[in-house]
A = this chain, B = another copy of it.
Amino acid sequence: MLRITLLGTGATMPTPERALAAMALNCQGRTILFDCGEGTQLQMRRHHVSAARVDFIALTHYHGDHIFGLPGLLQTIACLGRTEPLWFAGPEGLERAMAPIFALAGPMPFEIRGVTLCRKGADLAEFLPGWPRGSVLSAIETAHRVPSQGYVFHLRRAGRFLPEQAERLGVQKKDWGKLQRGERVGRVRPQQVMGPERPGLTVAFSGDTKPCRAFERAAKGADLLVHEATYANEADRAEANRWGHSTFSDAAEAAVRAGAKRLWLTHLSQAIEDIPAALDAARAVFPAAECPPDGHSVRLSFPETNPNGGNQ
């Protein structure tokens, strides 16, 4: 249902082991790219994320290690023949920050559109063809040392279809599919034949930030929380926070407060000497913490539901 791929897990400078910040979220064949450090287009190719399917680029802030892959990616998307608009979101200053990017990339054969997202989020299906209804992307102001925002993607899940209800309302079997897709059939509205909305899927991407309660609240119950962890150790916490960054433990505590199901630590500094030790410390706080390599990918599906409509 959702496929999330970490394209770059490093910070500041790329290394052969860790490329710069980027993550792809694919939903039914269409993709949101979160951040785009130098080399992202190559990481996409390496890890089977199609540049042709990117509809939306969500930037957390405008530091070079998060955006210098854009001119090359834009030219590649153009080469691949895109003609539909490509959407961008970012914190305050998007237009100013993108001006030299677009100047470098040159004229594109598709329109570039910016959108300002808020905490409430926008349903991507309203402007992005191919996205399922209820693909809601929200932006939450975070606490880096420049304007920054994290993102929460939520795929809503409709209630179960109630055939006995449809029959009672006199809907013919051939029209049930319309109701399930959210269309009216005569005077019957979809809500009349569907059970209560079921829990969907939630993925949260912090971008660069020190611990940020507003972001954690927005990430409530996330199936996957991807949180930055630029610094490894407890001892670095003051320094990390001074630079608007988090430590491994900060990220683990954020996952606990958010009630996340799993946690990926990313944006790791090259200066971290002992990742396994730092990860052990983070797992003492949040056992499901992981520190995945570049290219790590997971598929998230709606949980199976029991016949009474509840989650198993």
Taking beta carbons and an 8 Å cutoff, which residues of A are in contact with B? Answer: 12-16, 19, 38-39, 41-42, 45-46, 64-65, 67-69, 71-72, 75-76, 79, 99-101, 103-106
Contact = CB atoms under 8 A, between A and B. Distances in A.
Number of copies: 2
A108 to B, nearest CB: 12
Given A71-B64, A71-B68, A104-B101, A79 B42 contact: no
Contact of A100 (B64, B76, B104): B104
| SS of A interface (majority) | helix
Contacts of A100: 99-101, 103-104
A42 B75 CA distance: 20
A197 B194 CA distance: 91
B16 A104 contact: no
Nearest to A96: B103
Given A38-B38, A64-B104, 8 more contacts: A13-B76, A15-B42, A15-B45, A65-B75, A68-B68, A99-B103, A101-B104, A103-B103
Contacts of A46: 16
A12 B79 contact: yes
Nearest to A104: B100
23 contacts: A13-B41, A13-B76, A13-B79, A14-B41, A14-B42, A14-B45, A14-B72, A15-B45, A16-B46, A38-B38, A38-B39, A38-B68, A39-B39, A64-B71, A64-B75, A64-B104, A65-B75, A68-B68, A68-B72, A100-B101, A100-B103, A101-B104, A104-B104
A16 B45 contact: yes
